[in-house]
Amino acid sequence: MSTDAVDPLEFSPWDFWRDSGVEQQAAQRERQQSLVDGHPGRRLGMDCFVSALASVDPEILQLGDRTYVAAGAYLTGELRTGADCSINPYTVIRGRVTMGDAVRIGAHTSILGFNHSMEPGTPVFRQPLTARGITIGDDVWIGSHVVILDGVSIGSHSVLAAGAVITKDVAAGAIVGGNPAKLIRWRVAPATEPAPARSRGLGERVAEFGARARSEASAILDRAWSGERMLFADRPGAAPTVRAQADAIEIADLLLGVAPPQRTASEHIALLQGWQDAETGAVAPLGPDGLPLAGLDFSHDDVAYHVLSVGYALDLLGSEFPAMITWVTDTTPQRVVEFCQALPWSTDAWRAGHHVDALGTALRWERSAGGSAPAGVEEALFGWLLLNADPHTGMWGSATPDRGLLPVVNGFYRASRGTFAQFGVPVPHPERVIDTVLRHAHDPRWFSAGARDACNVLDVAHPLWLTRDTGYRAEEVQDLASRVLSDALGGWSPDAGFSFREPSPSTRGLEATNPGLQGTEMWLAIVWYLADLLGISDALGYRPRGVHRPEPAAL
């Protein structure tokens, strides 16, 4: 054999770490190190292989364990894979592409997570690129010469036949082929039970869950109560926080219909009102001495959230903030516009939405207190949001390389909750909102088993509930709601409630999987919204009335 012959392992690398020699393995490790050095967006798992004959130049490259890239492959853009994925010879992957575990890609396949605009009057090469991204689930077999176009979601356990052109989403378990691809048969058949029957079965579980939650509510509150500090902590061993007091009040109201019995209602009111700064109206986080920290204003994330949590806790107790919230009483319409424009929509849409939520809720409290906010301030806030909603996503802000649509969807929930939902105003572009949420809910980084947390699930459930009257993609919405609700009901811990993050074998031991007040309060609301999307929320025997109330509050 010629000394300059190409090593066959470059094209067939699945047995590289078993069959290669010491020098070959050393060269491979050196190649992988050269790929990640100086590139913070690149990360390669254990026992990966990247051929020296592949063109690998993405901004983001995250390969799971035992994933290989064979000779001739061409990778650019943002690629994230799970474990045990194969990218075979001459595969092209460009744009924003996310795969789950065990995705097998045949040779000469093109996965194109971007596109060109093609409006008339301008040459295509001068037109801007668009990128919606492609999501591929777990255990997917993609044959040779397949083409997958931007914006498509491929369900887990599906098979794409050789030569297929994928222009639309592929359902989980489907075998598709042709141009454009159509269903051939099922590899894993979908549930044959109709949605109403599934809902009836879930309805029984929901009723049992509601009864259990009410019967264990007192134990949950006792578990989080610090008798020494006379305050609630999120869970045993944690420090007391302002939010924990508010979460306890929300849980007690939701499940018991009374204030937490550890204090009288008037004592709860006095405690919360006493934490409000009389000059600014802000409620700061607690220091080690149990008193609010000094010198913080509404730009602080916790101070902003306390406008919601403390305000609604006082509302549930039949009271209100004693001092005006100067954030809105001292502002002007122009300042509101400047405030919205200055928020980090392109880099952290969640944080931007967080502060819009707080501003909208501050306006809600001042309106109920007698309308002391200057004229035009509400109009400026809603006007900015309406004019700046992206007509393609229905939301505000931009996806990010490392988190995809997560900050956009989560930021939309926060911004719309505190404005459109709270004031009873229809959201702009509701069908695009549904498209974006359903696409995001296919992202395995946030919605595979064990990856879901209360924030991410609530921020999907509420927008789908808020736009439910459109009837758009209703079957897909109900299917998602039934699957997530079924899993959520299994996350309850006896006498402890819910953890913030969904427990699973892979997340065991993480702090976020310890049951606490925050997780319990949020998942109780999530369960209600998902059940209501399925028409079975009455079986729960509770309905949120605080931060997560479904009805408009500022009417």
Return the active site residues. Answer: 116
Q: Are 101 and 138 in contact (CB under 8 A)?
A: yes
The encoded tokens of residue 237 equal 């061993």
What is the C-alpha to C-alpha distance for residues 54 and 284, in angstroms, rounded to an integer? 54
* CB burial of residue 173 (10 Å; 0-12, 13-18, 19+): middle
- CA 538, CA 546: separation in Å to the nearest integer? 18
Alpha-carbon gap, residue 324 to 317, rounded angstroms: 19
Of 115, 144, 137, the C-alpha closest to 128 is 115
Q: Which residues pair with 522 in a beta bridge?
A: none
Q: For residue 51, what are the contacts with CB-CB under 8 A and spacing of at least 6?
A: 10, 11, 13, 68, 69, 70, 71, 72, 73
> How far apart, in Å, do the first and last CA atoms of the chain sit?
83
CA-based nearest residue to 409, from 440, 388, 384, 450: 440
Backbone torsions φ then ψ of 331, nearest 5 degrees: -100, 180
Question: Which element (helix H / strand E) includes 514?
Answer: none
- Outline where 369-402 has alpha helix (H): 377-388
C-alpha 315/C-alpha 546 separation (Å) is: 8
Residue 319 burial (10 A CB sphere; 0-12, 13-18, 19+)? middle
3-class DSSP state for residue 304? helix
Looking at the DSSP bridge assignments, the partners of residue 82 are none
Tokens standing for residue 278? 């009389």
- Give the residue from 540, 448, 459, 460 showing the smallest Cα distance to 492: 540
The 3-class secondary structure across 247-298, one letter per residue, is HHHHHHHHHCCCCCCCCCHHHHHHHHHHCECCCCCCECCECCCCCECCCCCC
